[in-house]
Amino acid sequence: MHHLLRGLPFAACALLALARPAGAQANEVPHIETKGARHALIVDGAPFLMLGAQINNSSSWPAAMPGVWPAMEAMHVNTVEAPIGWEQIEPEEGHFDCAAVDLLLEQARAHKVRLVLLWFATWKNTNPQYAPSWVKLDNARFPRMRRADGTFHYALSPFAAATLAADSKAFAALMRHLREVDPQNTVIMVQVENEPGTYGLARDHSPEANKAFAGPVPEALRKRTGKGPGSWSALYGRDAELYFHAWSIARYIDQVAAAGKAEKPLPMYVNAALPGSPFTWQDPATYASGGPANTVIEVYKAAAPHLDLVAPDIYTTAHKDYTGFLDSYERADNALFVPETGHARDYARFFFEAVGRGAIGWSPFGIDRLRYLPSYPLTSKLNDEALAPFAANYALFGQLARLWPRWALAGKTWGAAESEDPADGHRQVLDLGRYRAEVSFGRGDWGAGEAKGNDWPKGGVAIAEIAPDEYLVTGHFARVEFALRDPARANLILDRVEEGHYNDAGNWVFERVWNGDQVDWGLNFTAANQVLHVKLASYPIR
Ligand code: DGJ
The enclosing domain of 513 has a CATH number of 2.60.220.20
- Report pLDDT for 16: 45
Say which DSSP state 24 is in.
Answer: P
Query: Which residue's CA lies nearest to atom 6 of ligand 1?
Result: 57
Residue 155 is assigned to a structural domain of this protein: yes
Determine contact, residues 145/157, Cβ cutoff 8 Å. Answer: yes
3-class secondary structure, 97: coil
**Residue 271 Cα: closest atom of ligand 1:** 3
Instruction: Using the mean position of ligand 1's atoms as its centre, give its distance from the Cα of residue 322 in Å.
Output: 17
The residue length of the chain stands at: 542
Are 341 and 422 in the same domain?
Answer: no
For residues 251 and 211, state if they share a domain: yes
Residues 345 and 467 in one domain: no
Verify that 357 and 452 share a domain, yes or no: no
Asked if 255 and 362 sit in the same domain, the reply is: yes
Q: Residue 13 — pLDDT band, cuts 50, 70, 90?
A: confident
Going from the C-alpha of 280 to that of each of 203, 327, 336, 344, 384, the distances in angstroms are 20, 14, 22, 25, 37
Residue 447: the pLDDT is 73
The residue whose C-alpha atom lies closest to atom 10 belonging to ligand 1 is 375
User: 348-380 burial, b for 16+ CB within 10 Å, e for fewer?
Assistant: bbbbbbbbbbbbbbbbbbbbbbbeeeeeeebeb
* Separation of CA 63 and ligand 1 centre (Å): 21
pLDDT score of 52: 98
Q: What is the pLDDT of residue 4?
A: 36
pLDDT tens string 76-90: 999 999 999 999 999
DSSP per residue, 302-355:
HH-TT-SEEEEEE----HHHHHHHHHHH-BTTB--EEEEE--SGGGTTHHHHHH
pTM of the model: 0.95
Backbone angles phi, psi at 56, to 5 degrees: -65, 160
Question: What pLDDT shows up at residue 385?
Answer: 76
Please tell me whether residues 244 and 120 are part of one structural domain.
Answer: yes
- Distance spanning both ends of the chain, measured CA to CA: 79
Q: Using CA atoms, how far apart are residues 408 and 464, in angstroms rounded to an integer?
A: 8
User: What pLDDT, on the 0 to 100 scale, is given for residue 446?
Assistant: 67
For 46-63, what is the mean pLDDT? Answer: 96
Domain match, 152 and 121 both: yes
> Which of 55, 194, 338, 379 for mutating ligand 1's site (highest number of atoms within 8 Å of CB)?
194
Residue 280 pLDDT greater than 70, yes or no:
yes
Distance CA 114, CA 48 (A): 11
Atom of ligand 1 nearest to the CA of 120: 5
Beta strands in 132-220 (DSSP E): 144-146, 152-156, 187-194
Q: Residue 268 is part of a domain; what is its CATH number?
A: 3.20.20.80
Describe the strand order of the beta sheet including 435-440 as a list of residue ranges: 427-431, 435-440, 478-484, 523-525
Full residue range of the structural domain in which residue 68 is found:
2-399
| Ligand 1: centre distance to CA 125 (Å) | 7
CA of 136 to the centre of ligand 1 (A): 20
**229 and 377, same domain (yes or no):** yes
Mutate to test the pocket of ligand 1, among 365, 367, 375 (most ligand atoms within 8 A of CB): 365
What is the C-alpha separation between 123 and 47, in angstroms, rounded? Answer: 31
Contact present, 411 and 405 (Cβ < 8 Å): no
Q: 446-468 pLDDT, tens per residue?
A: 677 899 999 999 999 999 999 99
Cα separation of 250 and 196, whole Å? Answer: 9
Could you tell which of 130, 313, 338, 368 is best to mutate to test the pocket of ligand 1, judged by most ligand atoms within 8 Å of the CB?
A: 313
Q: Give the closest residue (by CA) to ligand 1 atom 8.
A: 365
- List, in order, residues 6 or more apart from 221 with CB less than 8 Å away: 243, 247, 298, 299, 302, 303
User: Does residue 409 form part of some domain?
Assistant: no
Of 338, 371, 399, which one is at a domain's C-terminal end? 399
The pLDDT of residue 439 is 98
Radius of gyration of the chain (CA): 24
Q: Could you write out the three-class secondary structure of 376-433?
A: CCCCCCCCHHHHHHHHHHHHHHHHHCCCHHHHHHCCCEEEEECCCCHHHCCEEEEECC
At 370, is the pLDDT very low, low, confident or very high (cuts 50, 70, 90)? confident
Q: How far from chain centre, in Å, is Cα 27?
A: 24
**pLDDT for 19-41, tens place per residue?**
444 445 668 999 999 999 999 99
- Ligand 1 closest atom vs CA 83: 5
Residue 282: pLDDT over 50? yes
Binding pocket residue ranges, ligand 1, CB within 6 Å: 57, 125, 194-195, 313, 340, 365, 375
CB within 8 A of 337, min separation 6: which ones?
A: 50, 269, 309, 311, 329, 359, 360, 361, 362
CA of 378 to the centre of ligand 1 (A): 10
Residue (of 134, 145, 139) closest to 170 by Cα position = 134
Q: Inform me whether the pLDDT recorded for 263 exceeds 80.
A: yes
Residue 1 has pLDDT above 50, yes or no: no
Nearest residue (by CA) to ligand 1, atom 2, is 125
Q: Is residue 445 part of a domain?
A: yes
- Return the pLDDT at 26: 65
Reduced to 3 states (helix: H, G, I; strand: E, B; else coil), residue 21 is: coil
Average pLDDT over residues 117-122: 98
- The reply to whether 407 falls in a domain is no
Q: What percent of the chain has pLDDT over 70?
A: 93
User: Is 87 contained in some domain?
Assistant: yes
What does the pLDDT read at residue 19? Answer: 47
Q: Kindly tell me if the per-residue pLDDT of 2 is higher than 60.
A: no
Average pLDDT, the chain: 94
Which residue has its alpha carbon closest to ligand 1 atom 9? 125
Least confident of 9-23, 36-50, 322-336: 9-23
For residue 149, give every residue at least 6 positions away whose Cβ sits within 8 Å of its Cβ, in sequence order, or none: none
pLDDT band, residue 371 (cuts 50/70/90): confident
Of 371, 399, 427, which residue sits at a domain end?
A: 399
In this predicted structure, the answer to whether residue 62 has a pLDDT above a threshold of 60 is yes
pLDDT tens-digit readout, 397-418: 999 999 999 999 999 999 999 9
Position 23 scores a pLDDT of 47
CA distances from 180 to 15, 85, 170, 313 (A): 9, 20, 15, 31
Which of 399, 433, 467 is a domain's end point?
399
In-domain check, residue 19: yes
Domain shared by 311 and 438, yes or no:
no
Report the number of distinct structural domains present in the chain.
2
Residues 172 and 240 in one domain: yes
Residue 5 pLDDT level (bands cut at 50, 70, 90): very low
pLDDT at residue 18 is higher than 70: no
Pairing of strands 523-525, 508-514: unpaired
Residues 164 and 283 in one domain: yes
457 Cα distance to chain centroid? 22
CA of 366 to the centre of ligand 1 (A): 8
Task: With a cut of 60, say whether residue 95 has pLDDT above it.
Answer: yes
Cα separation, 462 vs 412, whole angstroms? 11
pLDDT at residue 144, as a whole number: 98
Co-location of 426 and 464 in the same domain: yes
- Give the whole-angstrom CA distance, residue 419 versus residue 459: 9
- In a domain? residue 405: no
In a domain, 97, yes or no: yes
Q: Which of 57, 116, 119 to mutate to test the pocket of ligand 1 (most atoms within 8 A of CB)?
A: 57
Alpha carbon of 363 to ligand 1 centroid (Å):
12
Span 278-306, average pLDDT:
97
